[in-house]
Every structure is written in structure tokens, then in C-alpha cells.
Chains A and B, each alone.
Chain A
């Protein structure tokens, strides 16, 4: 009998799917899904979903038939995990595409970045929507407001946050106070942003007088959100400064505070700077705290300590929720999406900047 000799497959790979099995199943799933979609009306999104389900079912049942239940379960888990990742990408892509498609017409409107909403009334928007006149108004006041409020918040948060992290790392020594601060800083990261806004509002209502709404109040609200982020990131950075550097400095007779300011901080400065940049990126998009603390303004206000102030997020919010012309919300939507695009670009630039800072100013290791 020669039948047993002809058999080429090794006993070790017996009962396994061939390497190319997933590709075959994928191709079949895509074709079958396309056929199904052709019957009920084609759209790319549905095609992807049906193909993914067919692929998972096909691969798992084939594996179950050839390799047994354990391997099939493993394949199923792999399909689910990869599927979860692909599902998580969908909203990211969808948000970015939506903002780009809706935002670019607003952004390329002449004067969008250079003018405020001062004097832009519903009549102009009706004209723009009905007669095709150019869409007037822009985000200059909101952009300036965002920059000023965020800058003031940074000026408040960075010294407090940095000093706190220095206390925790250099002086804390796991004392009860240090442990309490660590715990409550963690808790503070979870404060809802609107509660931070209400706190700043309530604080200034009690100190200055009811109804106080200025850029400075908003900056205080943002600081409440920003300080814990700065503390956490600086603390991590100070912790990784090697102890040998501190000891070498002490051995030369240098005081502790000089050691911290001249040795520890310069070593960690790149990480601290990138952490601060990330913290700015986090608070620059906050809407709710500014909404309850700075009011709405349609004009340019360069004084953070007096008068209502606009900001990019609240500009987006009000333009969508209360269009300048209620009968023709089109121009308002266009401005809102343009502002959203500018805001996303700002946040992405800050994130990118944080990465660059971390890489460029990283302490040189070795010689």
C-alpha cells in the first residue's frame, strides 16, 4: 500500500489551518458581502460591517472544523480584539472627515481669522443664505479670548503645579501631607469641567459680587483643571532624574534649593515643558467652564479682568445652538465648523509641539 507514503503533511502541522487561510476567508467574505449588499442597496460602510462579520464567522467555523474548539475560540478572540480596534478608529476618522469637509469653506472665507462678530446681525446672514452674499464675521475675538484666557491659566497653573511636584518629589518623603496631596491631585483630575467653572463663578460671586463674568474667572476655572495635569506630569519627570546627580551636587556643598533649581529642573526641563504643553492642549478645548464664567461676547475684548470675553469653544457652541440668524442657520454653522477646524489644528499643533519639545530638549545621555 503506497497511500500512507504519498502523504506529505508533517504530523506536526496536521490539524492546522494553512497559513493563507485568513486571506482566502477574507476574499470570500468580501465577495459574498458585496453580493448581499448588491441585493439590499450598496453602501461602503455596510459592506465593511457585513464582510467583517462573515470573515469572523467563516474563519472561526473553519478553524473549529479543522483545529478543534480551543483554536477556534482563540481565532474568535483575535477577531473580536482586532474588530474592537477598528471600531475605535471609526469615530476618529469620522470626526476628522466631518470637521474637514464642513470646516474648510468657513476657514477659507476672506476675513474669517481677522474679523470679529461685531455688528454681524441676522440680516447679513439671511442675505448670505438667500442671495449668495459673502458670509461676514469671523473668529478673531474668540481666538484672542482663547489665547488670553489660556495664557493666564498657564501663568497661574505652572508655578503652583511645578512647586507642588517639587514638594512631592524632593520634600515629601511619603509624609501624610504628601500622600494627601497625591491622592487629592488624582481626585482633582476627575472633577467635571463644569463643576470647576461653577466653583470659579461661585468664588468670584462671593468675593467680587454676583454676576461677575470676566476672562480672569474663566482662567481660574481652567487652572483648577490644569494644575493636576501639570503636577502629575512634572512629578513623573522629576522622579526619573537620577539620584546620583543630586548626590554629586550635595557632595560639592551645594544647598538643596540650588540643587533643585540648577541640577534637577534643568535635567527634567524637556519633560516638564512637554507636560505643560499637553496640559495647555487639554484645557484650550474646554467649553463648559468658560461658558459659565466668561459669558458671550461678539466684540474684541483685550482685558481679561473686565467685561465678557469670547473663546473658540464657546463660539462654536453658541453659533450652533443659537445661530445669529435663527431662520438661516447655514452661515452660523459654517463659522462654527471653521472655528472647530481652527481649534482642532491648535490642539494638534500643541500635541505635536509637546512631542518635539520632549525629543529636542531631552537631556543628553552618555558622552
Chain B
């Protein structure tokens, strides 16, 4: 029997099409499943910690008494990081997009991206071995002259391993994220707006203030939010740099702890209910960062819709 080669090849082709598109769609669905799986498995493993009697949880006052101080610590570290990183990052982004010579701009952008390529554990080691030591005289100065402000209350940590040092290391790590996103937004500023401002006699700074920054504001906000997400979840910088302890208001004493560092420091040796407690802490971190990232992405997509018209 001879089969019609045309129809068999057609049949195979049709099957191939179906298999291929099916596989592509399955891969996409797998990603959604993984994300929901992340949430699901974290919840399942966290429930024992949430329902356990308060006395069994570390500290003896239940899960929420355990998690509250480290949530605050996480927020403090992230806020320090953003307060330092945001102005610098916007400055760097403006430098690359509007100040640097055109030929150098791409290369300079690559240099800033190198900051993102350095592994977090190396930043942690650098912060612990170099930055903490170098910066502790500055903490002494702060404690002496600005000690009346609660956040600079002395005595300053002699090793420099404080939440402020951790925040500075975090700011270095979020800097490339905020920079690269703001840079892209600044480059999208309509050229005609810029030229119109310059033609009216504006100086370069006035042009940036009138044309570039208003156009880029939603982009900058979402870039900061993404940086916040990174700073909240970053583990190594804090785990290696901070000598942790109870929640304290002073930024230049040892103390405070973040969720991610708490998990990293305790999970390897944990067993039993302690594992569930740490996974529950991870769930809290997941929910916080998910919320922050979703807001950031929502701002970006909303912004994309009307910037497409330009």
C-alpha cells in the first residue's frame, strides 16, 4: 500500500502544530502554577506555626509577637536603603541620559550594570570586612554630636555592624535597579518637549525640570517601588553585615533584624516547629514584596498605555 505522502505529512504537521502550541501554553501555565504553588506551599507549611500555642513559638508570645519586630526591622533597613539610593540613582540616570557625552553613555551604563552583577554575598563580605570598619568613626561622631536625635543615640557600635551599615550596603545593591529603569524612562521623554523647552531659553536643568521629570514621574515611582521590593527581600547583605538583636530605635547601635536575614541565619539548623515559624516569616515577606511589586508593575503598565501614543 502506498499512502498519500501529502496527506500524511499534513497530518503530522497538524499534530506538530497542536503539540507545539500546547507545549508553549503548558509552559506558560506552569509559570502561573509555580507562582501559586509558591504561595500554596508556604501557606501549608506555615499553618502549624500560626495555629501553635503561643508559648511554643520562639520568644513565647506567639507568632505575631515574634514577627512584628523583624517586620519593622526589615522596613527600617529598606527605608534607609531607598533614602540613600534614590537621589543618587536619579542623578546617575540623568547623567547617563542627558549629561554624559553621547558616545560614552552606553559604556557608562554598562559600568553601572556591573554593580548589579556582583553577587550579594560579596557585597555582604565587603560590608562586614571593609565598610563597617571604615564607617565606625563616623558613627562615633554622630553619637557625640547628634546623639540627642533618637536614631543616632549612642553609644555607637564599636564594630560598625549596625542597621545603618546594612542599609548602606542595601542601597548600593538597589542603586542599579532604580538607575536602569529611570534611565530608560528618561530616554523616552519626547524629544520635541525637550527641544521646545530649550528653544524657549531654558537652561539644561530647567529643561529637565519642565520636560523630563514630569514625564518620568510614574516611571521613577515604580522604579523606586521595585528597588523597595529588592531591598526588602535581600538577605546576605544584612545577614553578614548586621550584628542582630532586639528592635532598637538607634540606627548606630547593634540590634534590629530583618525577615530575610532571620530566615537565613536560623533555617539551616532549625527543626520541628521552628521550621514552620521561619516559613511563616517567609510567607509574610512574600506577601509584602508581592504587594510592593504588583503596585510597581501596575503603575508601569498603566504608564505604558498612554506613553505609546507619543
Contacts and interface: CB of A to CB of B under 8 A. Distances in A.
B24 A194 contact: no
B21 A257 contact: yes
Given A70-B206, A344-B122, A206 B232 contact: no
B123 interface: yes
A347 B118 contact: yes
Contacts of A98: 126, 129-130
Interface stretch (B32-40, B52-60, B63-71, B156-164): B32-40
A34 interface: no
Interface string B84-110: 000111111011100110000000100
Question: In terms of DSSP, what is the predominant structure of the interface of chain B?
Answer: helix
Contacts of A95: 118, 122-123, 126
A255 B292 CA distance: 43
B205 A73 contact: yes
A285 B122 contact: yes
A177 B28 contact: yes
Contact of A194 (B95, B115, B282): B282
B119 A84 contact: no
B126 A344 contact: no
Nearest to A289: B235
B235 A192 contact: yes
A185 B31 contact: yes
Interface residues of A, number: 95
Contacts of B204: 74, 77-78
B296 to A, nearest CB: 8
B42 A202 contact: yes
A70 B282 contact: no
Given A78-B99, A85-B92, A195-B286, A203 B35 contact: no
B77 interface: no
Interface in A265-300: 281, 284-288, 291-292, 295-296
A316 B122 contact: yes
Nearest to B201: A70
Nearest to B30: A160
B165 to A, nearest CB: 13
Interface in B256-310: 260, 263-264, 267-268, 271, 275, 278-279, 282, 285-286, 289-290, 292-294, 296-297, 301
Interface in A85-105: 85, 87-89, 91-92, 94-95, 98-99, 102
B91 A81 contact: yes
Contact of A84 (B44, B95, B289): B95
A203 B34 CA distance: 11
Contacts of B94: 81, 84
A14 to B, nearest CB: 16
Nearest to A283: B119
B260 A192 contact: yes
Contacts of A81: 91, 94-95, 99
A192 B289 contact: yes
Nearest to B292: A190
Given A192-B289, A351-B117, A82 B230 contact: no
B188 to A, nearest CB: 16
Contact of B88 (A77, A87, A99, A295): A87
Contact of A285 (B13, B115, B121, B234): B121
Interface string B221-246: 00000100110111110011000000
A239 interface: no
B115 A88 contact: yes
B184 interface: no
A188 B31 contact: yes
Nearest to A318: B268
A187 B297 contact: yes
Contact of A206 (B45, B92, B293): B45
Contact of B130 (A87, A94, A288): A94
15 contacts: A74-B206, A81-B95, A98-B130, A161-B27, A164-B30, A190-B293, A224-B38, A258-B13, A288-B263, A292-B268, A313-B119, A320-B125, A343-B119, A343-B122, A344-B122
Q: Enumerate the 4 nearest inter-chain pairs by beta-carbon distance, A residue then B residue, closest first.
A: A192-B233, A84-B91, A285-B119, A163-B27
Given A194-B260, A340-B125, 11 more contacts: A81-B95, A91-B172, A159-B27, A187-B35, A187-B290, A190-B233, A193-B120, A206-B45, A320-B125, A321-B239, A347-B119
Interface of A: 70-71, 73-74, 76-78, 80-85, 87-89, 91-92, 94-95, 98-99, 102, 159-164, 166-168, 170-171, 177-178, 180-181, 183-196, 198-199, 201-203, 205-206, 210-211, 224, 227-228, 231, 255-258, 260-261, 281, 284-288, 291-292, 295-296, 313, 316-317, 320-321, 333, 336-337, 340, 343-344, 347-348, 351
